[in-house]
Amino acid sequence: MKICIVTHKIRKADGQGRVNYEIAMELIRRGHQLTLLASEVAPELAESISVDWVPIIVHKYPTEFIRNLVFAQKSARWLRDHRGELDIVKLNGAITGVNSDVNAVHFVHNSWWRSPVHISQEHRDLYGLYQWLYTGINSYWEKQAFRKSKVVVAVSTKVAEELINIGVDPRKIRVIANGVDLEEFTPGSIEREELGLPKNVTLAMFAGDIRISRKNLDTVLQSLVKVPDLHLAVVGETKNSPYPKMVEKLQLGQRVHFLGYRRDMPLLQKAADFFVFPSRYEPFGLVVIEAMASGLPVITSKSTGAADLVTPACGIVLADCNDINSLAQSLELLKSDYQLRQKMGRAARAIAEQYSWKIMAQNYLDLFTEVIQNAQHSSYSYLSSSPRFMAVPCRTSSPN
């Protein structure tokens, strides 16, 4: 197959970029020919004889909005000239002006736009207005892109529901969860002193952007007050973050340990007893499945897409991410029961093993094959149901 992936970045150190990186690497291993329309591409991909990288240069433009506009125009121009040479065009959202065979959705801007924790709700200034307009425009463009795509892939059932709510036909939707590197993230232990963390205490871990309220560290800290003796390691950039001061105000300075922004999460996970991530809005949340692969029980929330993977055997899913008492009870349960943590950790790893990057990439490859076969042998506009993919049931009521 000749497959074209259109996205801004294709590299390992990037959430959406990592997904496309793993798809690309697996396609190369299977002998397929790739065209990558992207601004940044990992060197090992750019140097591959199976890859034709078409650089879309946008870095000289001043704002993300303008850079995205230029990217869309340049990539659309190239695709219109070369579409006939390609078997599959895979996009991410409203990234270009050309219709796609497969559009993989990692974020629904309409849902984010309406979220009570949208940046515009926290910044009542020009920056907040810019973010509100930027998200709103992206929301409009996304609706057009999803409507014109043959298949829309959601990274979680949460995203699938959000797509239905903006009018995407449920028959076009497939759910393919993101994956995890099972060799990079493994169960194990490490001497905490090497990381400046206390030994002989129960240690929970939180990781995310702590400069914003979306990841919900404030609820975690308020819950921690109710759980004596539990310590918390926080991974995230502390500059311009309100939470170090909140820790002081709550008198948690002896139990909360800020580690800053880190790239060694596989190592850090080995220092923790369990992972907590009750995000207020998260289409997926790679950190959740990474923690599971590391053999950690997880506490998350229904507002986090990766909650799809969390069963009662391996963790706790909160119905309300802002419920301080429920979160405190969950923290207390895992803090006080070592045997339960061990049992849950083993179950978490077993579940994560079903979601390797290779399995995820194979799911996409199977979908590409099905799209091509459908185009060649049938005029029916929707793919058949497949046990490898989840087709979201069609609703009888109109979407919001």
pLDDT digits (tens, 9 = 90+) for 122-138: 888 888 888 889 888 98
Task: Quickly list DSSP for 70-86.
Answer: HHHHHHHHHHHHHGGG-
Which comes out higher in pLDDT, residue 225 or 388?
A: 225
Residue 331 region by backbone torsions, left for phi larger than 0, else alpha for psi between -120 and 50, else beta: alpha
Is the pLDDT reported for residue 162 higher than 70?
yes
Average pLDDT, whole number, for the chain? Answer: 92
**Does residue 398 register a pLDDT over 70?**
no
CA dihedral 136, 139, 144, 148 (to 10 degrees): 170
Q: ∠194-195-197 over CA atoms, to 5°?
A: 105
Write out pLDDT tens, residues 191-208. 999 999 999 999 999 999
Cα 101 to the center of its chain, rounded Å = 22
Every domain range in the chain assigned CATH 3.40.50.2000: 2-179+356-391, 192-352
Whole-number percent of the chain with pLDDT over 90:
82
pLDDT band per the 50, 70, 90 thresholds, residue 113: confident
If you average pLDDT over residues 210-219, what whole number do you get? 95
Q: What is the pLDDT of residue 71?
A: 96
pLDDT, position 382: 53
Q: Positive or negative, the Cα torsion across 312, 314, 320, 326?
A: positive
More confident residue, 117 or 317: 317
Taken in order 350, 351, 354, 357, is the CA torsion positive or negative?
negative
Q: Give pLDDT, residue 381.
A: 52
- The answer to whether residues 297 and 341 touch, using CB atoms and an 8 Å cutoff, is yes
Looking at domain 2-179+356-391, its CATH superfamily turns out to be Glycogen Phosphorylase B; (3.40.50.2000)
Paired strand residues for 231: 203
Nearest to 106 by CA among 164, 177, 35, 168: 177
285-291-296 Cα angle (round to 5): 140
What value does the mean pLDDT take over residues 287-314?
Answer: 98
**pLDDT (0 to 100) of residue 397:** 33
Give the model's pLDDT for residue 377: 55
Note the pLDDT of residue 114: 85
The per-residue pLDDT for 375 is: 79
If pLDDT is split at 50, 70 and 90, which confidence band does 119 have?
confident
What average pLDDT score do residues 159-188 get?
Answer: 96
Q: Which residues have C-beta within 8 Å of that of residue 293, sequence separation ≥ 6?
A: 180, 181, 182, 185, 186, 348, 349, 352, 353
Average pLDDT, integer, range 40-68: 95
CATH architecture type of domain 192-352: 3-Layer(aba) Sandwich (3.40)
Q: DSSP string spanning 279-347?
A: -SSBS--HHHHHHHHTT--EEEETTBGGGGG--TTTEEEES-TT-HHHHHHHHHHHHH-HHHHHHHHHH
Q: Which residue has the tokens 């692969």?
A: 293
Which of the two residues, 133 and 310, has the higher pLDDT score?
Answer: 310
Cα dihedral 230, 181, 339, 320, rounded to 10, equals 60
Residue 311 tokens read as: 């069963």
The per-residue pLDDT for 204 is 99
* Cβ-based burial of 95 (10 A; exposed 0-12, middle 13-18, buried ≥19): buried
Predicted pLDDT at 121: 83
pLDDT value of position 118: 83
Positive or negative torsion for Cα 381, 387, 392, 396: positive
pLDDT grade, residue 391 (50/70/90)?
very low
Distance of alpha carbon 173 from alpha carbon 393, whole angstroms: 9
Is 371 in contact with 150 (CB distance < 8 Å)? yes
Q: What is the mean pLDDT of residues 215-227?
A: 98
Residue 246 CB coordination number (10 Å):
15
